[in-house]
Structure 1
Amino acid sequence: MPASTTKSLRVAVLADSDTRWKWGALTANRIAPADSDIRLDGYLLRGRATPTARQLEEVGVRADSLREVTAVEFLREMAREEAAYDVLVLSLVGGGVQAMLHGLSHQWRERAATGSTKRPVVVTGYVGVVYEKLADGLLLRHGADLVLANSRQDADRFTAVYEGVGADASSVTEVALPFLGGDPYEKHDPYTVVFAAQPSVPESRKDRTYLLNRLVQHARLHPDREVLLKLRSKPGEHTTHIEEQPYQRLAERIPGGPPANLRLVYGHMGEVLDRTDLLVTVSSTAALESLHRRIPTVVLTDLGVRESLGNHHFVGSGCLASWDQLDDGHIPSPDERWVARQGVGADGSYETAFDAARERIAALLAGGTLPDLAPYYTPVTAPGYLPGILARHHLAPDGSPLPGAPDAEREPGAVRQIVRRAARGAYRHGVQRVAPVIRRMGEL
């Protein structure tokens, strides 16, 4: 009987929110060479958006181990010989990626001085649609071995930015969104309209109240339809972005209460799409998930087509429409060329979408000692910007931990948990209750 050719692959994912954990873990499984037996260890970076147990359960992605860490604790873990990972996925906001690149580089230089030169292949990318801070976010991610682009359009844009500043663009690797999937669209009874809410788009209470009122109006105009408000998090939880005006709070103020055919729902986006006939959003990546399944999809124009809303990304998609048009029965028809350029396969298949990433990782792992990480931002190229980015994660300009940097190993477990929960609760109360009141008072 021939010997097995399966190779063991150790992969670590560092994420700072529920959506980034989902992207990072799913990406890790997609980019691993096909003949690999993966062990996936998850690390959740402690901060305002660290996912709760409920959020992790909703994401539905499993790991062989999963624990919460500080930035310094994670860097020390990566410096240990026992933590000899083959691949490391940094699924963080741009500043977090940059801080980890410098912190890891410092740790691995110190380890190399003792004779150990092995380091993992470092991978990073974006959770979904890239519609703001393109240059800023990209340059903060520069230095990873692979910077994943979720579509051909993104790959072209990423390459242009890197080459435009004189940075090495060879890390840009085209893939697809790792969570595209599900059954093709079929009509449902009752016809179901889903509004996919976003935590920070739009931001103001006025605009969010407007969208909620239009959703209520649509439900009342179409009592034969089921209308769902799909929410990302419950009050008190945070996801990738801060939500100052939760729709749940606004819904409590609907005169006479919401109509019987309108419900607030949570859960896995894929499961909600299983029963969706019309997906409505401002600019959520859920639109691409919906288009992948060929579900009728609308990107709202009610508040304008603006960069600050992100719906400008969908210009040319054929999906732009207003609530007035939807109330009158409009069904959009997406532009297939635009859809294909966003990395949404016309045949619904993504079997080869991650081949380039797999091949590159396999080549790097087989090529011997990897070179030092070389981010574009250094104390020489960005002396007025980089130190502040690193300091937020308690790192010095050379990537070393600052004196007094928080380290979970020094804190009693029970006390740390109590203090951390209290701090998070106070922060979220300030964001969702106190800050809006102060803002309104300032506008008087």
Structure 2
Amino acid sequence: MPASATKVLRVAVLADSDTRWKWGALTASRLAPKGADIRLDGHLLRGRATPTARQLSEVGVDADSLREVSAAEFLRAMAEEPCDLLVLALVGGGVQAVLHGLRHAWADRADRPVVVTGYVGVVYEKLTDGLLLRHGADLVLANSRQDAERFRAVYEGVGADATSVTEVALPFLGGAPYTGAHDPYTVVFAAQPSVPESRRDREYLLDRLVGHARRHPEREVLLKLRSRPGEHTTHIEELPYQKLVRGTDVPANFRLVYGHMGEVLDRTDLLVTVSSTAALESLHRGIPTAVLTDLGVREALGNHHFTGSGCLASWEQLDAGHRPVPDEEWVARQGVRASGAFDAARERIAELLAGPGGLPPLKPYYSPETAPGYLPGILARHHLAPDGAPLPGAPAADRAPGPVRQVVRRAARGAYRHGVQRVAPVIRRMGEL
């Protein structure tokens, strides 16, 4: 190869939802050396939240290839197809299963890729459980200084190697800084699929949002939704706001919007949420941001993460014209407005790829010795044996699924989503009688 030729960095991303695909693909691009050519191969883990074509197009990330796979199919691809960097954008159990599967698949390889994982946004629940399920990757990315400190403390507290923890920032932070009020002044409520959970709480938030629009007819009030009915994101949404608003008399200055969050923020003057990661995107751009206290400041809501931020406020205060002012020290600890956030991670990956003799086998903290009553169940859910080998009968296709198989899959997903969004709430209400 001529000295002037640029080496192509081969990157694979495995994701299980639209949000995690966005995080994984953008993280991969940030981790590549500056100016490097990248070949990005995307793999979507087959399951209840596998993104639709519309969701993928809304993410706006292009891949050189993109295919839907089972865990067994992905592991076989990783055993046969070379790559330099692998990003696992999955729930914790999925990461742990794939790490053990890769350890088995790469048992005889010294040239395995660097394996990276992390979190899509704010880590406000299941910190220890989620972290230990991600242990074993070469890099476990922390989206802020605060998270890096917490992650290392958990690993060191159980005697696990903490050198994998690497501080970065959320890869989708960006966009033009806020320069002042738009015409019309625009208030955006960033909805979340699972927070709050109950119908009463979601109807309350919707009523307050519509009420704000009525009190301020000069403002544009937008309800920013993550997905359309029938689609799933990272979390199950049993009571979508589209359903709750149906039949409601709303003012002309209130409407529902979809699309890329960054594009919505381009015209936002006040971002309101319960605990969405959109709050960090908004703070990064200097947009006034309110984290609601109406339903309490509670771990179950995730808004407890924002204590000390200066952003906590109620609809009563916002209706009266309050604009929260963030605490700059708190913002700095959250990886917001950080420069060079991915430099350390790039350097670490370069060191690992350049090391003599290749990389050692993956070594997750959970093993048949440390978690014999926990690990086998996690692996079995992905059709893997306790040693990471695919179980007999594990899904593995030699070719793309035919049209009949695709129709059956779509029908099964539709039935599942109907059960989650229609049948389950009815049964729950009947149980409360």
**TM-score normalised by the shorter chain: which range applies?**
over 0.9
Given that 2:273 and 2:291 are in contact with CA atoms closer than 8 Å, whether structure 1 keeps it comes out as yes
1:96 alignment partner in structure 2: 94
Tell me the CA shift for residue 8 of structure 1: 1.5
Tell me if 1:366 matches 2:354.
yes
Q: How has the CA–CA distance of structure 1 residues 410 and 184 changed in structure 2, closer, same or farther, with 3 Å as cutoff? A: closer
2:203 alignment partner in structure 1: 209
The one-character-per-residue Cα deviations of 1:156-175 (angstroms, maximum 9, x if unpaired) are: 00000000000000000000
List structure 1 segments (4+ residues) > 3 angstroms apart after TM superposition. none
2:14 alignment partner in structure 1: 14
Q: Give the whole-Å Cα distance in 2 for the aligned partners of 1:410 and 1:288.
A: 42
Q: Give the whole-Å Cα distance in 1 for the aligned partners of 2:272 and 2:401.
A: 47
Given that 1:299 and 1:311 are in contact with CA atoms closer than 8 Å, whether structure 2 keeps it comes out as yes
2:169 alignment partner in structure 1: 176
1:193 alignment partner in structure 2: 187
1:298 alignment partner in structure 2: 290
**Structure 1 counterpart of 2:226, which letter?**
R
1:413 alignment partner in structure 2: 402
Tell me the CA shift for residue 404 of structure 1: 1.2
Q: Give the whole-Å Cα distance in 1 for the aligned partners of 2:286 and 2:400.
A: 51
Q: Give the whole-Å Cα distance in 1 for the aligned partners of 2:393 and 2:7.
A: 41
The one-character-per-residue Cα deviations of 1:340-377 (angstroms, maximum 9, x if unpaired) are: 000012xxx63x11010000000000003100000000
Given that 2:110 and 2:360 are in contact with CA atoms closer than 8 Å, whether structure 1 keeps it comes out as no
Given that 1:129 and 1:285 are in contact with CA atoms closer than 8 Å, whether structure 2 keeps it comes out as yes
1:30 alignment partner in structure 2: 30
Q: Give the whole-Å Cα distance in 2 for the aligned partners of 1:263 and 1:245.
A: 18
Q: Give the whole-Å Cα distance in 1 for the aligned partners of 2:385 and 2:241.
A: 40
Q: Give the whole-Å Cα distance in 1 for the aligned partners of 2:399 and 2:86.
A: 26
1:221 alignment partner in structure 2: 215
The one-character-per-residue Cα deviations of 1:201-235 (angstroms, maximum 9, x if unpaired) are: 00111110110000011000111100000000001
Deviates more, 1:159-168 or 1:245-254: 245-254
Tell me the CA shift for residue 416 of structure 1: 1.5
Tell me the CA shift for residue 32 of structure 1: 1.1
2:274 alignment partner in structure 1: 282
**Structure 1 counterpart of 2:56, which letter?**
L
Q: Give the whole-Å Cα distance in 2 for the aligned partners of 1:35 and 1:215.
A: 45
Given that 1:162 and 1:168 are in contact with CA atoms closer than 8 Å, whether structure 2 keeps it comes out as yes
Which of 117, 120, 124 lines up with 2:117 in the alignment? 124
Q: Give the whole-Å Cα distance in 2 for the aligned partners of 1:413 and 1:166.
A: 48
Identity of aligned residues (%): 82
Q: Give the whole-Å Cα distance in 2 for the aligned partners of 1:31 and 1:403.
A: 37
Tell me the CA shift for residue 410 of structure 1: 7.0
**Residue 248 of structure 1: SS of its match in structure 2?**
helix
Deviates more, 1:400-409 or 1:185-194: 400-409
**Residue 330 of structure 2: SS of its match in structure 1?**
helix
Which of 305, 310, 324 lines up with 2:302 in the alignment? 310
Q: Tell me the matched-pair count.
A: 430
**Structure 1 counterpart of 2:41, which letter?**
D
Which residues in structure 2 correspond to 1:150-165 (within 5 Å)?
A: 150-165=143-158
Given that 1:7 and 1:35 are in contact with CA atoms closer than 8 Å, whether structure 2 keeps it comes out as no
Given that 1:5 and 1:35 are in contact with CA atoms closer than 8 Å, whether structure 2 keeps it comes out as no
2:234 alignment partner in structure 1: 240
Q: What is the TM-score of this pair, normalised by structure 1?
A: 0.95
1:439 alignment partner in structure 2: 428
**Structure 2 counterpart of 1:436, which letter?**
P
Q: Give the whole-Å Cα distance in 2 for the aligned partners of 1:166 and 1:5.
A: 44
